[in-house]
Amino acid sequence: MFSKACEYGIRASIYIAEQSQLDRKVSLVEVAKAIESPSAYTSKILQLLSRNKIINSDKGPTGGFSIDKVELDKLKLCTIVQAIDGNDIYVGCGLGLNKCNEKLPCPVHNQFKLIRDELKMMLENTTVKSLADDFEKGLTFLKR
């Protein structure tokens, strides 16, 4: 459903958020290890998140990646998905057909539309902070 880049972007954001709540900045290597992602690929994703002002990237000996605590309460999953995958997840056909729409639906169009609508609502209502809190408590995990 999400691209691999988006999956890693969400996982990285959750990890960075959890560490930011502990007043820690994290390195690229630490993030890549925490989410089991190749460092070069993680670097590109973190750059994209930084360019979209989702995470902070500070250089130097005290640098690293972080998310402002004030922003943690506002940051929704939909912001990350939009930055990496765009809006395709909300409009794509469940069978991958290009011409699928309300007037010319594929066999699963109506059922898939319900799922897409629920997914959109979940992404718009879920904060990265709430997911980071569950991760910090050991209720969820980021590695396979």
Mean pLDDT of 129-139: 95
Domains and CATH numbers, the chain: 4-136 (1.10.10.10)
pLDDT attached to residue 89: 85
Q: Is 26 helix (H, G, I), strand (E, B) or coil?
A: strand
pLDDT attached to residue 91: 84
Mean pLDDT of 98-103: 90
Binned at pLDDT 50, 70 and 90, residue 105 comes out as: very high
Which phi and psi angles does 9 have, rounded to 5°? -65, -40
Predicted confidence (pLDDT) at residue 1 exceeds the cutoff of 90: no
Strand spans (E) along the chain: 56-58, 64-66
* pTM for this prediction: 0.92
